[in-house]
Amino acid sequence: MVAPEFIVPPPGLIPDAPKPNAPEGEGYTRPPAERGDQGDQTVRALPARSLPTFTPLPSGPPAASVAVPAALRPAESVPEAAASFSLVSAAGETIELIGRVVVGRNPTVDDAHPGARAMAVLDPTRTVSKTHALVEVTQGRVVITDLHSTNGVAVQAGGGELTVLDPGAPAELEVGTTLRLGDLALTLRRTPGVTV
């Protein structure tokens, strides 16, 4: 039987391997083919070595300190300004609600309501005060405040009971609520805004 030939790895590939040209006795034993005998043919396991370590990549969302490109950020919610609200009377009169609106028979805006617009309503009942109520649209919510009107403000949500509001106390309105300024009935409607 012919002794197998061994492939000698290049120097430095296997740590602690004897140098191929080292004289015998310094960790080098001639291969069996060079010695002319069969020699010891036992396959021995190499000493165990630890594997290199690495740090795994994070799998969760990026930390707040990591800058995420704008193209990869989730789309922000569409602002509520994309939808508009209006008050509609039984006669079909529509009052568009944008921002802050002071409504009444002939309303005036004072310093107590900066940025509000005056919006006159037709009042066949003759029960609406000159300056009756403040209606505000903020963050998709509609809030009404009785401005100490003569005949008050009342709301009726979802066909429930009519609730008279305290003067000066704001109240949030739901879409579909019937609103009474004195005896004038208005219904809050939401209409989709035009998107560009």
> The domain that contains 113 carries what CATH number?
2.60.200.20
* DSSP 8-state class, residue 113: S
Answer yes or no: is 27 within a domain. no
pLDDT in tens, the chain (196 residues): 566 666 776 766 766 655 555 555 555 555 555 555 555 666 666 777 777 776 666 665 555 555 555 555 555 544 444 568 999 988 888 888 988 999 999 999 988 888 899 999 998 889 999 999 999 998 888 999 999 999 999 998 877 888 999 999 999 999 999 999 999 999 999 876 544 4
What pTM does this model have? 0.56
Residue 138: which domain range? 81-192
The structural domain count of the chain equals 1
Query: Which spans in the chain are helix H?
Result: 32-35
Answer yes or no: is 42 within a domain. no
| Element housing 76 (H / E) | none
Cα 95 to its chain centre, rounded Å, is 33
Show Cβ contacts of residue 185 under 8 Å, excluding neighbours closer than 6 positions.
89, 90, 178, 179
Helix, coil or strand: residue 110 = coil
